Amino acid sequence: MRNDILLSPGERSGNIKIPSSKSAVHRLLICAALGKERVWLQFDGLSKDIAATAACLQALGAEIRIEENTITVAPIETSVKNALLPCGESGSTLRFLLPVAGALEAEGTFKMEGRLPERPMQVYEELLHTHGMEIRRCGDALHFSGRLKSGEYPVPGNISSQYFSGLLMALPLLQDDSRIVAERTPESAPYIRMTEDALALSGIAFWEKGETEWAIPGRQRFALPSRLSAEGDWSNAAFFLCMGALSEKGVTVGGLNLSSSQGDREIVELLIRFGAEVDLLPAENTVTVRKRDLCPMVIDAAAVPDLVPVLSVLCCGACGESRIVNAGRLRLKESDRLATTAKLIASLGGEAEEQPDGLVIHGSGTLRGGIADSYNDHRIAMSAAVAACLCRESVTVTGAQCVEKSYPAFWDDYGRCSG
């Protein structure tokens, strides 16, 4: 296992096939476990978060076998009691499966790690309690029991899209019809569309009204196709695409669905706005990005929070002041990503000012290099690798193994890009 890693400075170029979307695999695994028949899911790249979802579904009664690039899922048949669900640091796993466990009338405990016990869920827990679940926190353990009930679910629009996705996957299992009503259009709405895509693929009926209401009939059963594959991950592709924006020769990333519902597909438009050269080849599922003069800009992060660390690094390559706005939720991730992104840039000789809900980056077109702490955050570690492309001196990334949370092969793929 890598701990610290030394990166040479300067541009990188090459061709990378990106692993499967973590967000898509989470959803497809859950839909498969809630179905009628066995499902074979083809995917590339088993991350810690996906392993956590698989382990929790097993604890709930699914039979899951992982062999090379295939996950086989036999669905849950009976309700379980005293289940131990090891969700690790995966907020997606916990937030998706908590209401699902209630819909299945399961009882047990989610075991949390890292910063996950500190991340807020009070609104979610109160909503589920109002609808029949008993939820109790004790340190890093979250105990649950009780049967989730049908009804109307009023949800604030400024909370994680994962709450909406968890409800959308749980409510079709209930005996009666339900409705989700958001106070306003939810943040990170593209992630909700990914859930809707998975539901539609599973044959689940629902009706959406104006991006703030969902009507979900009860007494439904999921029915995914028996064999399917997960598309490439735009969130992880963004790191290599941003490397391409700092490279004369460029970087080509393959395995991407150019019409995907993934919100982080927005990286393409953002790179064009930065001034990079972007070539799209939908027939080949590839994107190639090359360096051009980058311009500073204002980035609204409300719909693309996961891109903020790497976009902030890219802002260092644009001479002038750039701003990241509407990014307050990043303080509640694996690290406080506004603070750790600013510290990353400063540690490598750049200048970034932390704001309550964003960052101000004063780009000079280059960075010095030095020691970059990952803060045990996979997106900070991978952003440090992109920052090395701007550096005049080498970069040491400490705690580099944290990329295993989402992209275990990242350092190997990075090494395939030549200097």
Catalytically active residues are 306
The CA-based dihedral angle spanning residues 48, 51, 52, 56, taken in that order and rounded to the nearest 10 degrees: 180
Distance CA 99, CA 103 (A): 6
For residue 269, the surrounding DSSP H or E stretch is: helix 267-274
Q: Which residue has the tokens 């963004």?
A: 238
- The strand pairing partners of 395, in sequence order, are 7, 370
Distance CA 192, CA 209 (A): 13
- Residue 135 Cα distances to 87, 110, 115, 190, 330, angstroms: 16, 11, 19, 29, 26
Q: Positive or negative CA dihedral for 257, 262, 265, 266?
A: positive
Distance CA 25, CA 41 (A): 8
User: Which two tokens mark 214?
Assistant: 């969902």
- Say how many C-beta atoms besides its own lie within 10 A of residue 416's C-beta: 12
Closest residue by Cα to residue 171 from 120, 213, 137, 226: 213
Distance CA 97, CA 106 (A): 11
Distance CA 300, CA 326 (A): 6
- The strand pairing partners of 367, in sequence order, are 391
Please check whether residue 190 is in contact with residue 261, taking contact to mean a CB–CB distance below 8 angstroms: yes
- Could you tell me the maximum CA-CA distance found in the chain, to the nearest angstrom? 62
User: Which two tokens mark 192?
Assistant: 């909700």
User: Which two tokens mark 176?
Assistant: 């009666």
For residue 313, the surrounding DSSP H or E stretch is: helix 308-316
User: Which two tokens mark 75?
Assistant: 């669905």
